[in-house]
Structure 1
Amino acid sequence: MARQKSALGRGLSSLIEKRDEPGRVEILELDPASIFSGTEQPREYFDEKEIEALCESIDKHGILMPLIVSGNSDGNYTLVTGERRLRAARKLGLKRVPAIQKEFKGGVALEVALIENIQRQNLNPVEKARGFQRLIEDFTYTQEEVGRVLGKSRVYITNSLRLLALPDEIIRGLIEGKISEGHARALLMITDRAAQISLFYRVVSEEMTVRDVENHARGMTEVKKDKKSSGKKVYHELEKRLAERLSTNVSVTKGKRKGRIVIEFTSEEDLHNILGYFN
């Protein structure tokens, strides 16, 4: 899909400017019931307390920043940006909301709206990561291109996407604010999902700091490495002892569920000698 690069990542000004009439933007007064949320909205979790606070602000000062919408063929509108303002307006029972209509070609509206919404500071880490993922999957962006458009490094985008690999319980806790993004990144240091979930519940119940989680995760990783290293030493020693007793090459390997001992022989006589040893 062709990208309108010049309009992406430049903020609301790129959505509302009219090049033929500099400084002049037509503000519409629309019925909230005629505006429908678009699929490009990355926000999944809306804090009711935040909506209530926004309602109080709108009730007192009005909607200071117009919504951005695009027109539909049925006379209604699709929301590009302003989901929280629209929800608050509906909750207050407002009959009209200020809006700016902006038309885009093809699927560019979805692309622009998604980027504009990702740039909002109040998205949680999971919503941002899923927004990055949509740009990559739906609009064929590379991680580097996502970072360039949003003013982030490729490493930042990569680390954000890694959050989506966490178990559902942890992702839900991150969305609900039970843990911070720092906690989540520390939990990613653990490769075992059951251990991740177990430590997550400890983080919530014991109010562990990010440093606590990092130290705990690092300790679990070191223990796992030590056990693996210790196991290899045991198998190597066993190979050596059997090879000396049987006068042939011996291999000892351990899989997830079972192990294997391979004893080499070069003749029937060797085989009889080996069998005689075990008898």
Structure 2
Amino acid sequence: MKSSASKIKMSSYDSLFGEDEVTQATCDGERIQHISLSELFPFQNHPFKVLDDEKMEETKESIAKYGVLMPIIARPRLDGGYELVAGHRRKRASELLGLETIPTIVRELDDDESTIIMVDSNIQRENLLFSEKAFAYKMKLDAIKSQGKRTDLTSAQLGQKLEKSKTSIEIVAEQADDSRNQIKRYIRLTELIPTLLDMVDNKKLAFNTAVELSYLSHDDQELLLEKMVDLDVIPSLSQSTKLKKYSNDGSLSEAVIDVILSETIAKPVQVTLKKEKLGKYFPQNYSSEQMEEVITTLLEAWHNEQNL
């Protein structure tokens, strides 16, 4: 891999824009600069995880073969260097390949503009964690709200950023694959304590259940987590709704949590499926064990969908 990387001199850009390795003009008038990786700093509170996983390997292979085909976007920092706005994965892949510079478009962006670009450049990625989408949506929503309150924008500039007839959440929803209500539910997850949020990411805690639990105070969430570990149970959606009600009333206590969570332990679910009712769904020569295997497989698929 190292030998492949050593051959990368951004040839695709050189052929398009000439041989100047420092600054090149793009077709839309912006400038591409080959900036040292050491001068690039990650976006503050970047909500998307940059992992050295299979996707990163694919990015490395692409860059090794073709170079960085799409420049990253960065903005100048007051303390020197540049803050990376879009292109964290490309930067990381370039580092792993041993490259020294990366083609960069430098823009003068304020905090709100940078946040919106950062979120929009990542939110459509596949297999995002619940926590990644939650914090990304919250950051973008806050940025759009902030733009609406600014007084330093001309009417034309503000008109481009916000349509007065629409709320901030509607603007976010129009530019995303999720509905307005679903985005609100995602943002609720940012109110969870880290351990519970990790459980959502790992699909140990169902999404809708987690949304209900996000309305508990952090102290109540910590108390609940202790009881979940002690009793080795995960709250159901109906239980989380009860917990939310008691927490909002200020009456949630260890004893109340015990009673609510113990409902699961005290009432084990038993389901009996009669063979004659299942007969029409299976070949006649299927044994009970074969039927059970098929049913279990279907239930697992259904369970995974519910967690999404």
Using the size of structure 1 for normalisation, the TM-score is 0.53
Aligned amino acid, residue 173 of structure 1? M
User: Aligned pair in 2 of structure 1 residues 103, 144: CA closer, same or farther (>3 Å)?
Assistant: same
Aligned amino acid, residue 190 of structure 2? L
Quick check: which has more Rg, 1 or 2? 1
Tell me how far apart the structure 2 counterparts of residues 75 and 30 of structure 1 sit (CA, whole Å): 13
- Aligned residues of 1:26 and 1:100 also touching (Cα < 8 A): yes
- Aligned residues of 1:147 and 1:157 also touching (Cα < 8 A): yes
Tell me how far apart the structure 1 counterparts of residues 252 and 44 of structure 2 sit (CA, whole Å): 44
3-state SS of the aligned residue for 2:206? helix
1:131, distance to aligned residue in structure 2 (A): 2.0
Aligned amino acid, residue 183 of structure 2? I
1:94, distance to aligned residue in structure 2 (A): 0.1
Q: Show structure 2 runs of 5+ residues with no match.
A: 1-25, 147-167, 254-308
- Deviations 1:65-123, CA, capped at 9 Å, x for gaps: 2111223467632211001111121122101212222223x434423333324534144
3-state SS of the aligned residue for 1:27? strand
Aligned amino acid, residue 71 of structure 1? P
- Matching residue of 1:261: none
The answer as to 2:63 corresponding to 1:58 is yes
Q: Give the % identical residues.
A: 23
Using the size of structure 2 for normalisation, the TM-score is 0.49
- Matching residue of 1:27: 32
- Aligned residues of 2:94 and 2:102 also touching (Cα < 8 A): yes
Aligned amino acid, residue 185 of structure 1? N
The answer as to 2:166 corresponding to 1:143 is no
Aligned amino acid, residue 95 of structure 2? R
* Structure 1 segment 35-184 matched on structure 2, within 5 A: 35-39=40-44, 41-43=46-48, 45-49=49-53, 50-72=55-77, 76-104=81-109, 106-122=110-126, 123-137=128-142, 139-140=144-145, 142-150=168-176, 152-175=178-201, 178-179=202-203, 183-184=206-207
- Aligned residues of 1:30 and 1:99 also touching (Cα < 8 A): yes
- Aligned residues of 1:27 and 1:66 also touching (Cα < 8 A): yes
User: Aligned pair in 2 of structure 1 residues 221, 197: CA closer, same or farther (>3 Å)?
Assistant: same
User: Aligned pair in 2 of structure 1 residues 136, 116: CA closer, same or farther (>3 Å)?
Assistant: closer
Tell me how far apart the structure 1 counterparts of residues 252 and 74 of structure 2 sit (CA, whole Å): 56
Tell me how far apart the structure 1 counterparts of residues 143 and 113 of structure 2 sit (CA, whole Å): 13
3-state SS of the aligned residue for 2:203? coil
Q: CA RMSD in A?
A: 3.9
3-state SS of the aligned residue for 1:98? strand
Tell me how far apart the structure 1 counterparts of residues 210 and 226 of structure 2 sit (CA, whole Å): 6
Q: Show structure 1 runs of 5+ residues with no match.
A: 1-20, 204-212, 229-254, 258-279
User: Aligned pair in 2 of structure 1 residues 221, 172: CA closer, same or farther (>3 Å)?
Assistant: closer
- Matching residue of 2:277: none
User: Aligned pair in 2 of structure 1 residues 217, 93: CA closer, same or farther (>3 Å)?
Assistant: same
